[in-house]
Amino acid sequence: MKKLIQNLIYPRRCVFCGEFLDKNSNEDICAACVDKLPWTKNKCKSKGEFFSECLSPLFYEGSAGEALRRFKFMGKSSYARLMGKLIADCVQENGKGGYEVITWVPISARRMRKRGYCQAKLLAREASKTLGIPCARLIRKRRHTPPQSTVSGLAARKANVSGAFCAVGKSGIAGRSVLLIDDVITTGATLSECTRILRMAGARNVSCATLCKATKK
């Protein structure tokens, strides 16, 4: 009854295009977007300096990019339910498997105060529900950095995040296979730095996953 009342007062809309959804649907995406979104398909995998696998279900363009920006910058934290599930589905279909713990790329305390939530943490928690793998905070961002989107070039992006992260809860890292989640991969500099931190803390293996990837290569 409570859900019915909520749907009448606040009709649900598709996360990507904003169209009203069937009131009986449990999904947060419309049929048109299922067909038209920029799915990565057989190009879902990326590689980085310290990780050999990053899986992303969508390219960072069109309605997918717009939805991710609303989720990240405009307070649409509820988008995490669908986006986290899309990440999890991509991991299940294309990943190596054997992951023992899920963690996320953290944001700085300053950005957390401004935004109110860490978008990667929300994605990791939702992916954890679908994958049935525990989710834990294993990395902390110990200094604020300019957004990677404002920094040009791989070398500059690597320098921007160098030393910005540290491991926490090392007993939960050592010897384990970790799935590291973020919202988007562009050059891979941030994921590589976080992977390096996890490997230094004793992680046996680190794989990555994001909602979007910024290149079609």
22 falls in which pLDDT band (50, 70, 90)? Answer: confident
Are 212 and 184 spatial neighbours (Cβ–Cβ below 8 Å)?
yes
The pLDDT, as a whole number, for residue 100 is 97
Is 208 within the bounds of a domain? Answer: yes
The pLDDT, as a whole number, for residue 154 is 87
Q: What is the domain extent for residue 57? A: 43-213
Is 135 within the bounds of a domain? Answer: yes
Is 199 within the bounds of a domain? Answer: yes
- What CATH number does the domain containing 98 carry? 3.40.50.2020
- Per residue in 143-174, pLDDT (tens digit) is 999 888 888 888 999 999 999 999 997 788 99
Number of domains in the chain: 1
Tokens (6 digits) for 29: 């995406």
Is 70 within the bounds of a domain? Answer: yes
Is 166 within the bounds of a domain? Answer: yes
Is 16 within the bounds of a domain? Answer: no
217 falls in which pLDDT band (50, 70, 90)? Answer: low
Instruction: Inform me whether the pLDDT recorded for 17 exceeds 90.
Output: yes
Is 162 within the bounds of a domain? Answer: yes
Instruction: Inform me whether the pLDDT recorded for 4 exceeds 70.
Output: no
- Per residue in 93-138, pLDDT (tens digit) is 999 999 999 999 999 999 999 999 999 999 999 999 999 999 999 9
- Per residue in 24-78, pLDDT (tens digit) is 778 899 999 999 999 999 999 999 889 989 999 999 999 999 999 999 999 999 9
Is 195 within the bounds of a domain? Answer: yes
The pLDDT, as a whole number, for residue 6 is 46
The pLDDT, as a whole number, for residue 216 is 65
**In terms of pLDDT, which residue wins out, 4 or 194?**
194
Cβ atoms within 10 Å, residue 123: 29
